[in-house]
Structure 1
Amino acid sequence: MPPLPTSPVHGTIRVLLVEDHDMVAEAIGLALDRAAGMEVVARSRSIASALADTRRCRPDVVVLDRRLPDGDGITAIGRLEAAADGVRVLVLTGDATAAAATQVVEAGGAGLLLKSARLDELEAAVRQVAAGEVVFAQGLLGGVLDRLTGRVRSAGATLTPRERETLPLLAEGLSTAEIGERLNVAHNTARNHVQRVLEKLGARSKLEAVAIARREGLLG
């Protein structure tokens, strides 16, 4: 089994936990702190404090409760990502739906997980998110793609041949490193291809890029 991914910058995945219920926060915090290569650098109880703690601690991943005293966590995703370079947001909710998952994707979030998920599933999700992947509760992806592909966008006209090769690999759910291996290019080159695909399709995530590509008939 290959080693679990960790943050490429720090070596340890730095996590900001945003949860206003003490018992839930304590259980999640202990589980993540005990995980190898992972550290909970702060705990916030509201969107306002999460923004301040993100600027102060510069975490790799924000584990964000959706229902917070000062609002819906999904609406704060963009502000959290703007508060620190490279931060990614994983939303926790008690009632995951395709509509909520679509909102997370459109806001630029990295995933949506049920609070009822096992702690080891949450740990694995944090690792995937830190590695640049997206994670959604089982059964949600189909609904997300259906919702996103139903929206009209003009896309794909300026994709280069190499970027068009990248698209079906994104659709397979490959990581950037795996895309680099398939295309036989360096990791940074693969990352650049992926980023340009997202920019040209007007997507904020790999998942949304795949949905747009399907809608535009770019995946055959």
Structure 2
Amino acid sequence: MSPPRSSEQPTGRTTGPAAGGAIRVVLVEDHDMVAEAIALALDRADGIRVLARSRSLAEAVADAHRLAPDVVVLDRGLPDADGIGGIGRLGSAAPGARVLILTGEATAALAARVVEAGGSGLVLKSARLDELEDAVRRVAAGEVVFSRSLLGGILDRLSGRAAGAGATLTPRERETLLLFAEGLSTAEIGERLSVARNTARNHVQHVLEKLGARSKLEALAIARREGLLD
């Protein structure tokens, strides 16, 4: 069963949970089975309380404003938005809330975007539920939660030592990026490059992975921000 929609009013807190108080969580996940498993695990954990489950970013912003949670566990892929892009809106709605991103993949570029947007951590959906519980506790305590394998890349990128997101793209991958910026489908990209559709699909997938994007649309947004389409 999904957690009930709470009728609590905002507490006005701008910091973490009060000493001895439960960590108050808003869960943002549109897939029912995933949401129910996470909500059940967190609600069973000592000292954690799931206040509400939101199914979209718009609903999450409203819930965060109404409930003033300590932590928002936010799925990256939502029906109405990219979760990372919504971190700022959640921070405005509930200034005391810390945001923990749930994602199916993790790269240094993606993790750096979470940090740049004001997020406090990133947890893979493939992680164990007890690992998610631990991440919620650490984030609520003021820590940032990223795997050790990502930290070096995050620090390099944020300090400017790392090359831009498109630095590792091969010439063919850059050509692929420009082609889907024109609105071409994968099949059409294959025709323009004179390669098989599966090869074109692989080029597209490599572009997405190297830019830390989950869709062509997101890849184009990153590419524009990085000046890769100029």
TM-score, normalisation: structure 1: 0.64
Which residue in the other structure is 1:53 paired with? 63
Pairing 1:12–2:22 present: yes
Amino acid at match of 1:65: D
* SS, match of residue 42 in structure 1: strand
Question: CA contact under 8 A between 1:96 and 1:137: conserved in structure 2?
Answer: no
Q: Matches of residues 68-217 of structure 1 in structure 2 within 5 Å?
A: 68-150=78-160
Which residue in the other structure is 1:201 paired with? none
- Aligned CA RMSD, in angstroms, stands at 1.6
C-alpha distance in structure 1 between counterparts of 2:124 and 2:149, whole Å: 12
* Post-superposition offset of 1:125: 0.3
* Post-superposition offset of 1:9: 5.9
C-alpha distance in structure 1 between counterparts of 2:60 and 2:45, whole Å: 22
Amino acid at match of 1:32: L
C-alpha distance in structure 2 between counterparts of 1:44 and 1:143, whole Å: 31
Q: How many residues align?
A: 147
Deviations 1:125-172 (A, max 9, x none): 0000000110013411111011111169xxxxxxxxxxxxxxxxxxxx
C-alpha distance in structure 2 between counterparts of 1:43 and 1:9, whole Å: 25
Pairing 1:33–2:43 present: yes
Q: Given the superposition, is the C-alpha separation of residues 72 and 10 from structure 1 closer, same or farther in structure 2, using an over 3 Å criterion?
A: farther
Which residue in the other structure is 1:63 paired with? 73
Q: Given the superposition, is the C-alpha separation of residues 66 and 36 from structure 1 closer, same or farther in structure 2, using an over 3 Å criterion?
A: same
C-alpha distance in structure 2 between counterparts of 1:117 and 1:138, whole Å: 14
Greater shift in the superposed pair: 133-142 or 21-30: 133-142
Seq. identity, %: 71
Amino acid at match of 1:84: A
Deviations 1:43-72 (A, max 9, x none): 001000000110111110000000000110
Amino acid at match of 2:149: G
Pairing 1:43–2:60 present: no
Q: Given the superposition, is the C-alpha separation of residues 9 and 73 from structure 1 closer, same or farther in structure 2, using an over 3 Å criterion?
A: farther
Greater shift in the superposed pair: 129-138 or 99-108: 129-138
Any unmatched runs of 5+ in structure 1?
1-5, 153-220
Amino acid at match of 2:38: I
C-alpha distance in structure 1 between counterparts of 2:92 and 2:28, whole Å: 17
Any unmatched runs of 5+ in structure 2?
1-15, 163-230
* SS, match of residue 32 in structure 1: helix
* SS, match of residue 133 in structure 2: helix
Deviations 1:82-115 (A, max 9, x none): 1013110000000111111000000110001101
